[in-house]
Chain A
Amino acid sequence: MSPVGTLYSRPLEVDATGPAIRAMSLDVGYRRKSVWHNASFEVQRGEFVAVIGPNGAGKTTLFRMLLGLQRPTGGNLEVFGEAPRRGNRRIGYVPQRHTVDADTHVAAEALVQLGATGTRLGPGYAVRSQRESAARSLAAVGASDLAARPLGGLSGGELQRVFLAEALAGNPEMLLLDEPLSNLDLRRSRELVEVVHGLVLDRHVTTLLVAHDINPLIKCLDKVIYIANGSVATGPPEEVLTSESLTALYGVPVEVLHDSRGNIVIVGGENPHEGAA
């Protein structure tokens, strides 16, 4: 019934050097408010993972911790076997963003170049090699034609591709994408998911993608991290996205409905979360 079964047809390359992310009884919160409590999960290298859950559940907080911008209040978190640290070159990050000011007259290519060398001192003399590397990143996300376009003139879907190319330019082993689909219509969402999925398969990049709607993603996912009510449920989508599992997570009755094409709708819960297609 669910198409997720097909994803196991590709060979699982389990890296001998351990998981990409390991969280052990992780507590997370701000001064007064606890966001997560006692969360334990792992993400293997090369997995494509969706992070979903209601607003304010702490999805972006997870990214901030992985990037070393925020510390867990308890427990242990490891990224590639190390404590998270700011400026980790192994992680490419696309923050949650809606628009760029329309009068930003800077070529997309320049931003992508900064993704590779933006932290280095000096004006950057190897102009040609920088441009070529930016061109490769843009080509990898199918956005070669956007290189010379000004950032302010790009549509939402085009911008997300450029941001993705910017993140890729640093040659990361992990991508953290915060709501890249939030401003896109269904067709653009699916296109972007295809691009990301292609990167996961070709480059073996571990990818975590925060999304509101699971449906454009569901065919490609290896794992779902579902955050709600201060708890975290992880596993393959067909295990996590069930009425039983989400009811246990929310503590109130939740129903997961499937349509004939494999789309799902989650009904009920503390904050009814729609996944309608």
Chain B
Amino acid sequence: MTPFSPNIVTDLRSMWQYEFMRNAFEAGTVVAIVAGIIGYFVVLRRSAFATHALGHVGFSGAAGAVLFGVNPVYGLLLFTTGGGTGMALLGRRASTRDIEIGTVLAFMLGLGLIFLSLYNGYATEAYSILFGEILGISNASVLLTVEAGVLVIGVLLLMYRPLLFASLDEDVAEARGLPMLLINLVFMLLLAVAISFAVQVVGVLLIFALMVTPAATAVRITRRPLYAILVSASVALFSIWAGLFIAWYEQYPPSFFIVSTAFVIYLIVRAGPPVLGLFERGVRYASRAATVGTPPRFVPEASRSTDRALVPPPSPADDPRSA
């Protein structure tokens, strides 16, 4: 293994000599883009709890698949799409669904536990489902991830405006003739598929880092939905790449670095300068500042009366000319 060099391109090249790293980057890229896009709608629709619940429902599915010797992704897909369908049919509004979701969620987790205890090799399998195993993705899984990703992104593009309308203004969208139940159902199915593949990367417990954190960051940067989706996907993508990159040199789980990167970006945007509206208003602010005149950025030393005590004015003795 080559040590870290400041040239990131050569670093990446040396990582990509290994198939498991190539697979991790490829699957991670697809999962990040899909999660970033769908995450925007999760935040807009306030479906964070449904997302959380679907991840846990998927855990039982994956555990069941492991028990029967099937690829865990199929168990995940089966359980999350089933759970998503149920949630979509239970009710349109996420706020009134939480109790039903929570009830089903608890039962499904119990089911996952019994699957795991029936299976003997329990600890490592459970660990990888819960926290992800991005370095263990097979070639076949990469292909499946790409296919699912293309499908999810394609359907999301197609239903972008109706979904946005239904998410933002349910009553008017319904009156305008949009099939609300169908839109909700398709969204939950897409979410289920996206979650099933994201679980490979960050696991059931850390799914929020890809589904919610990047989108929550994005909505603080731009108010335009399409831009927010782009930012969200970019943040998710950067988190995965940075997480994998760091994990190559620091032998800790990549999931930790992925989650931490996303979180740090969120914190910076949250606590940093008001970047909200950066995209829309940067130009306008600049032009207004030019016409109105910017206020002086630095107060002249002489007028800062309160600072006098701390910084005494230069005395004649300090003046080199007097020496």
Contacts and interface: CB of A to CB of B under 8 A. Distances in A.
Contacts of A87: 175-178
A150 interface: yes
A86 B169 contact: no
Contact of B161 (A107, A117, A127, A148): A117
A122 B157 contact: yes
Interface stretch (B80-88, B136-144, B221-229): B221-229
A97 B171 contact: yes
B165 A105 contact: no
B174 interface: yes
B44 interface: yes
Interface string B211-237: 000000001100111101000000000
Interface in A121-157: 121-124, 127, 148, 150-151
Given A118-B164, A119-B165, A119-B178, A106 B172 contact: no
Contacts of A121: 158-159, 161-162
Interface stretch (A45-53, A108-116, A237-245, A253-261): A108-116
B161 A120 contact: yes
Contacts of B46: 101
Contacts of B277: 148
B173 interface: yes
Contacts of B160: 122-124
A121 B173 CA distance: 14
A117 B173 CA distance: 11
B172 A167 contact: yes
A201 interface: no
Interface size class of A (residues with CB under 8 A): 35 or more
Contacts of A170: 176
A67 interface: yes
Contact of B158 (A115, A117, A122): A122
B276 interface: yes
A93 B219 contact: no
A166 interface: yes
Contacts of A104: 44, 168
Given A118-B165, A118-B176, A166-B172, A107 B224 contact: yes
Interface residues of B, number: 31
Interface in B167-189: 168-169, 171-178
Given A121-B158, A122-B157, A107 B175 contact: no
A78 B177 CA distance: 18
Chain B CB within 10 Å — which of A88, A104, A167 has the most? A104
B322 to A, nearest CB: 57
Contact of A123 (B161, B169, B176, B220): B161
B145 to A, nearest CB: 23
A105 B223 contact: yes
Contacts of B178: 87, 118-119
A123 B224 contact: no
A239 B57 CA distance: 63
Contact of A86 (B164, B175, B228): B175
Contact of A119 (B162, B219, B225, B228): B162
A14 interface: no
A110 B167 CA distance: 12
A276 interface: no
Interface of B: 44, 46, 157-162, 164-165, 168-169, 171-178, 219-220, 223-226, 228, 276-277, 280-281
Interface of A: 67, 69, 86-89, 91, 93-95, 97, 101, 104-107, 110-111, 114-115, 117-124, 127, 148, 150-151, 163, 166-167, 170
The 6 closest A-B pairs by CB, nearest first: A87-B177, A118-B165, A107-B223, A105-B219, A95-B171, A123-B160
21 contacts: A67-B175, A86-B175, A88-B177, A105-B219, A105-B228, A106-B225, A110-B223, A110-B224, A114-B164, A114-B168, A115-B172, A118-B161, A118-B169, A119-B177, A119-B178, A121-B161, A122-B157, A123-B226, A148-B223, A148-B281, A170-B176
Given A87-B177, A88-B177, A118-B173, 8 more contacts: A86-B177, A95-B175, A104-B168, A118-B169, A119-B161, A121-B162, A123-B157, A167-B172
